[in-house]
């Protein structure tokens, strides 16, 4: 039997969450013994089942959600990332969308083509989950799906009458068939258990639980199409229902899009690990979120100090209502990107050029913007304060 000291060594190994690599390094027998110790001492069961009727698990000692993650998700941040969330969640699934199209849809214009219809669906979905009166139920999940996917499905992807979920098998196909969704006959039973889990107040950390929800929805794959978009929306929906910010101060999808290969790899590792351990351990997916999203929130969001400086000028009456609107627009649409006065005029569409010019000069003097002169133009950027 493996001794405690050696088990701790394995637990701290950088490849601990990749059992194939662990077997290569320590041998199959050592890994097998380690898994048995984990099952008896370390794994925490999650009351939702895999396809073999076993409970999922995760490994709490390996997970440490930073305080910055909580602060970012709880803050009433002016940096509304709806545009970034829409663009990124579509990019993850290789669906093209332009900033102009997204801004047109967000401003109330009707979609003009198939891709703009997909933008419109995400926008409607975000509006729906942002209303805290819309609880997570079987019926509301169906409503959310119809809002997001209306007009975006092939005929063979439609849900049949009186069915909340798909009525046939579904495969997630890459270079090889990497995952098969849950048997459609079991979907009503499993999804009801899942919704019960979502709505049960338990001792699982809320942020960790939101990641588990994201994973499990993708794992079950209850629809023919749109499962990725729905999984990301469901995670946000759960956080909103638990009093985290409804204004998308953080765009999860923007981070995921930048590390898409690692995002999909974490799903793959979990299924590969299951072949060795006979259990779905969600820890690799939780660690993906922690390492590539939550650990970077404080560095990638607009610095809170900028918000404080702005709010100080606002409280002194030194910022007009139009300047406030313009600054919020700049925060939401340009983040850490450069922009010109002409670009604001084109994108914002609700201010004269003279007003915009006055705004950038004034806010640069306030220390909220910085400028960079090029050959024939000046570009501005939100100041970063460490």
Query: pLDDT per residue over 152-202, tens digit each?
Result: 999 999 999 889 999 999 988 754 447 899 999 999 999 999 999 999 999
| Strands 177-180 and 378-382, sheet pairing | unpaired
Instruction: Quote the tokens at residue 37.
Output: 């110790």
Would you mind telling me the total number of residues written for the chain in this entry?
386
Instruction: Quote the tokens at residue 71.
Output: 């602060």
First-to-final CA distance of the chain: 50
Question: Cα-flanking dihedrals φ and ψ of residue 301, to 5°?
Answer: -75, 160
Q: Which stretches of the chain score pLDDT less than 50?
A: 175-177, 299-301
Place of tokens 């923007």: 254
Can you give the pLDDT at residue 248?
A: 65
Q: Which residues pair with 381 in a beta bridge?
A: 370
Residue 317 burial (CB count, 10 A)? 7
What is the per-residue burial (b if ≥16 Cβ within 10 Å, else e) of 53-81? eeebbbbeebbebeebbbebbebebbbbb
Q: E-strand spans in 78-201?
A: 171-173, 177-180
Instruction: Quote the tokens at residue 290.
Output: 């922690």
Exposed / middle / buried, residue 184 (Cβ in 10 Å: 0-12, 13-18, 19+): middle
Can you give the pLDDT at residue 126?
A: 94
**Domains of the chain, each with CATH number or no CATH:** 1-42 (no CATH), 67-300 (1.10.3290.10), 304-382 (1.10.10.10)
Can you give the pLDDT at residue 177?
A: 47
Q: For residue 120, what is the enclosing H or E element? A: helix 114-130
Cβ atoms of 38 and 278 within 8 Å: the answer is no
Can you give the pLDDT at residue 214?
A: 98
The residues near 254 (Cβ < 8 Å, ≥ 6 apart) are 81, 84, 85, 87, 88
- Calculated CA dihedral for residues 296, 369, 77, 126, nearest 10 degrees: -90
Can you give the pLDDT at residue 330?
A: 84
| 159 secondary structure, DSSP code | P
Cβ atoms of 168 and 31 within 8 Å: the answer is no
Alpha carbons 56 and 236: distance in angstroms, whole number: 21
Q: What tens digit of pLDDT does each residue of 91-123 get? A: 999 998 998 899 899 989 999 999 999 999 999
What is the DSSP annotation of 173-202?
ESSSEEEEPPPGGGHHHHHHHHHHHHHS--
Q: Which residues pair with 44 in a beta bridge?
A: 58
Instruction: Quote the tokens at residue 104.
Output: 């047109």
Can you give the pLDDT at residue 68?
A: 66
Can you give the pLDDT at residue 179?
A: 84
Alpha carbons 104 and 100: distance in angstroms, whole number: 6
Instruction: Quote the tokens at residue 137.
Output: 């139920």
Q: What tens digit of pLDDT does each residue of 41-55 get? A: 999 999 999 999 999
Instruction: Quote the tokens at residue 305.
Output: 């100090």
């Amino acid at each position: 039997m493996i001794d405690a000291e050696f088990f701790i060594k394995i637990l701290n190994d950088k490849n601990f969450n990749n059992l194939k690599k662990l077997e290569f390094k320590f041998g199959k027998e050592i890994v097998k013994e380690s898994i048995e110790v984990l099952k008896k001492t370390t794994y925490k069961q999650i009351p939702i089942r895999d396809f073999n009727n076993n409970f999922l698990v995760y490994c709490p000692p390996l997970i440490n959600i930073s305080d910055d993650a909580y602060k970012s998700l709880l803050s009433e941040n002016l940096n509304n990332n709806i545009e970034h969330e829409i663009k990124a969640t579509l990019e993850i699934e290789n669906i093209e969308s332009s900033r102009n199209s997204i801004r047109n849809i967000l401003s109330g214009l009707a979609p003009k083509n198939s891709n703009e219809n997909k933008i419109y669906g995400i926008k409607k979905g975000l509006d729906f989950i942002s209303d805290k009166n819309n609880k997570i139920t079987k019926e509301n999940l169906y409503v959310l799906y119809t809002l997001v996917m209306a007009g975006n499905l092939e005929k063979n992807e439609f849900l049949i009458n009186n069915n909340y979920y798909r009525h046939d098998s579904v495969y997630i196909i890459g270079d090889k068939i990497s995952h098969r969704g849950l048997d459609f006959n079991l979907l009503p039973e499993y999804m009801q258990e899942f919704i019960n889990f979502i709505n049960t107040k338990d001792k699982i950390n809320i942020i960790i639980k939101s990641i588990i929800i994201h994973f499990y929805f993708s794992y079950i794959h209850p629809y023919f199409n749109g499962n990725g978009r729905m999984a990301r929306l469901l995670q946000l929906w759960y956080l909103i229902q638990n009093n985290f910010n409804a204004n998308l101060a953080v765009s999860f999808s923007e981070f995921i899009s930048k590390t898409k290969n690692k995002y999909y790899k974490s799903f793959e590792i979990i299924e590969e690990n299951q072949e060795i351990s006979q259990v779905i351990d969600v820890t690799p997916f939780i660690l993906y979120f922690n390492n590539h999203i939550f650990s970077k929130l404080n560095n990638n969001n607009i610095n809170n100090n900028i918000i404080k400086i702005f709010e100080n000028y606002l409280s002194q009456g030194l910022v007009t209502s139009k300047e406030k609107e313009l600054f919020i627009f700049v925060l939401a649409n340009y983040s850490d990107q450069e922009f010109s006065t002409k670009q604001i005029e084109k994108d914002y569409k609700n201010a004269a050029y003279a007003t915009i010019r006055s705004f950038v000069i004034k806010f640069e003097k306030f220390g909220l913007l910085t400028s960079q002169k090029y050959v024939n133009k000046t570009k501005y950027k939100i100041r970063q304060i460490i």
